[in-house]
Chains A and B, each alone.
Chain A
């Protein structure tokens, strides 16, 4: 799986799928956990699968079934679910300059999770325009189907799977941080960017350790943005590119 551009539309689909394979290590174990928790909360397997298919937003789905099981008012359940997903609001505009004129793009935004955004933000600028739709479709579809499949598996046999493959359930999710690291590493292009990114990573980790997982992403990104704006370390010889350096 190299960072070279694919050379044909079909190849772009396959490249998208192959590059999204590392996501499965993180998606499937979490989806299995969701399927199991949803059935334990009183949802049927089909209902759990429907939630994963339609809402398709990891953390908010856990909150959704948890609040429903706890008897929270449904308007509050919906409001909290949307509040957690609000961070996604900055994703599509960051990709927009590289999206082609196809009418499929708005529908494909259903698959714009944190992970797919991270991959697309790094890869779309490197791909020729003719390859971008295929690449995104392949990557997003594999991620979506793995989330749905994992949920079904967890709802049907989650307890047994987790008991049998406990260690794999701990090891495979490391594919996600490893993938994010590869996507973010080329953006450490200056002291200013390194400070902002480093602070963001550390504050996100710290907030997660403190149990504020849902707030960690927007808060940490805001800390990093503040750091980037305030700390003018760089009397950099070249112009700071606010989007970081592309890693061709």
Chain B
């Protein structure tokens, strides 16, 4: 890798870190100000709204199978149903994921 390419890697790395960390400093200052001024709303509503919606969007993107075809879409549907069913029963993090992957895998192995 040339020196110029290393600079590009480092610039991308530092830029990505700043994108992740600078808003944290902004919010922390806002929270400190709010502690001394009861009238200030700590988190703007649009920002607190975007949190859950970004997770929902990442979920939507991740639903796309690696190789999209009828079987993988069927497996996705069954995997999602199995995950939801086990989450409804157990309200835990690990078991629903394991059940979803198992259901998805079974459909892929039997029909794929």
Contacts and interface: CB of A to CB of B under 8 A. Distances in A.
Interface residues of A, number: 95
Interface string B81-97: 00110010001111111
Interface in B58-112: 58-68, 72, 75-76, 79-80, 83-84, 87, 91-98, 100-101, 104-105, 108-109, 112
A1 B91 CA distance: 10
Contact of A175 (B7, B42, B53, B97): B97
B100 A181 contact: yes
Q: Quick one: which of B8, B25, B55, B95 has the most chain A CB within 10 A?
A: B55
A43 B83 CA distance: 39
B11 interface: yes
Contacts, number: 274
A170 B79 CA distance: 13
Given A118-B55, A187-B52, A177 B16 contact: no
A88 B55 contact: no
Interface string A60-81: 1000100010000010011001
B62 A74 contact: no
Interface residues of B, number: 72
A39 interface: no
B56 interface: yes
Given A93-B43, A106-B21, A178-B97, A224 B53 contact: yes
B92 A82 contact: no
B40 interface: no
B54 A78 contact: no
A156 interface: no
B84 A78 contact: no
B52 A2 contact: no
The prevalent SS among residues of A at the interface is: helix
A121 B56 CA distance: 12
Contacts of B24: 92-93, 95-96, 99, 105-106, 109
Given A93-B27, A97-B43, A225-B49, A121 B55 contact: yes
Given A175-B101, A181-B83, A91 B62 contact: no
B60 to A, nearest CB: 3
A186 to B, nearest CB: 8
Interface string A154-197: 00000000000001011111111111111111010000010011
A147 interface: no
24 contacts: A1-B92, A29-B66, A47-B1, A54-B13, A78-B11, A82-B16, A85-B15, A89-B23, A92-B21, A92-B27, A93-B47, A94-B47, A106-B24, A106-B25, A110-B20, A178-B96, A201-B57, A203-B57, A204-B56, A204-B58, A205-B64, A207-B61, A213-B64, A242-B45
State the 9 A-B residue pairs at the shortest beta-carbon distance, nearest first.
Answer: A204-B60, A1-B94, A178-B100, A180-B59, A92-B24, A54-B13, A93-B27, A94-B51, A96-B27
